[in-house]
Amino acid sequence: MLSDVQLHKGASHPMGGLCELRALGRHILAEFFHCDVHRLNDPVTVQNLMMESAKACGATVVQAVFHSFNPHGVSGVVVIAESHLAIHTWPEYGHAAVDVFTCGEKIDPWLAVECLKAGFGAREVSSQEVSRIKLPFEPPGVEAIGLPAERLVCVPEDLEAAPPG
């Protein structure tokens, strides 16, 4: 399922009418609180949990890079074919900040968040989803590179007054 589909008056679209805006990406911003401080400070554990969460959401892992800070904390990124997962930990506060950015319809970024919550033993999570790259129309060059043109759905002008849904 494509995320964040909204009806939008397509004034800039040559077909006019109402057009669906479809997000090409889903970006979860998650804050994990009251985590196991030893897990947050161990770069091997942090990397393993991030890799596991990428796989749990159905992503294809491309590469991972992690770095330990002195005296504490870990930052890292898991590059996935569908975008990335990134983290920074503050063991001294029992806190981790994570981005899970996915593209496509087959990946569920919320599964990665749940995996990390369990893995870090977080007692509280604050998160939000941001739709990324909203397109009201087919981007230029789509036909030239062979992408499907089904990103745009327009409805007749007479339905403009009807509420969405």
Question: In total, how many domains does the chain have?
Answer: 1
Give 1 or 132, the one with higher predicted confidence: 132
Is residue 156 one of the residues assigned to a domain? no
CA distance 131 to 142: 21
Q: Look at residue 13 and tell me if it is in a domain.
A: no
Closest CA to 80 of 115, 96, 56, 97: 56
Write down the pTM of the prediction.
0.71
Note whether residue 158 is domain-resident.
no
Q: Give φ, ψ of 15 to 5 degrees.
A: -85, -15
Active site positions, annotated: 83, 88, 103
The continuous run of DSSP H or E covering 50 comes out as helix 43-56
Instruction: Determine the pLDDT at residue 138.
Output: 55
Q: Would you say residue 59 lies in a domain? A: yes
Report the C-alpha gap between 14 and 86 in whole angstroms.
39
Asked whether residue 43 is assigned to any structural domain, the reply reads yes
% of residues, the chain, pLDDT over 70: 67
- Per-residue pLDDT of 55-77, as tens digits, reads 999 999 999 999 999 999 999 99
Q: Is the Cβ–Cβ distance between 4 and 108 less than 8 Å?
A: no
User: Which of 116, 101, 97, 113 is CA-nearest to residue 49?
Assistant: 116
> Packing angle between helix 43-56 and helix 109-120, nearest 10 degrees?
150
CATH code of the domain covering residue 63: 3.60.90.10
pLDDT at 7: 38
Q: What is the pLDDT of residue 132?
A: 79
- Residue 101 included in any domain: yes
Q: Is the pLDDT of residue 134 over 80?
A: no
Q: Is the peptide bond before 163 cis (omega within 30 degrees of 0)?
A: no
Tell me the C-alpha distance between 7 and 160, whole Å.
Answer: 9
CA 106 to chain CA centroid, nearest Å: 12
* pLDDT tens digits, one per residue of 23-55: 788 999 999 999 999 999 999 999 999 999 999
Q: CA–CA separation, 134 vs 142, rounded Å?
A: 15
pLDDT at position 146 over 90: no
Range of the domain at 53: 25-132
In a domain, 122, yes or no: yes
Would you state the pLDDT for residue 165? 44
Predicted confidence (pLDDT) per residue in 73-132, tens digit: 999 999 999 999 999 999 999 999 999 999 988 899 999 999 999 999 999 999 999 887
CA atoms within 13 A on the CB side of 50: 33
> Is residue 10 assigned to a domain?
no
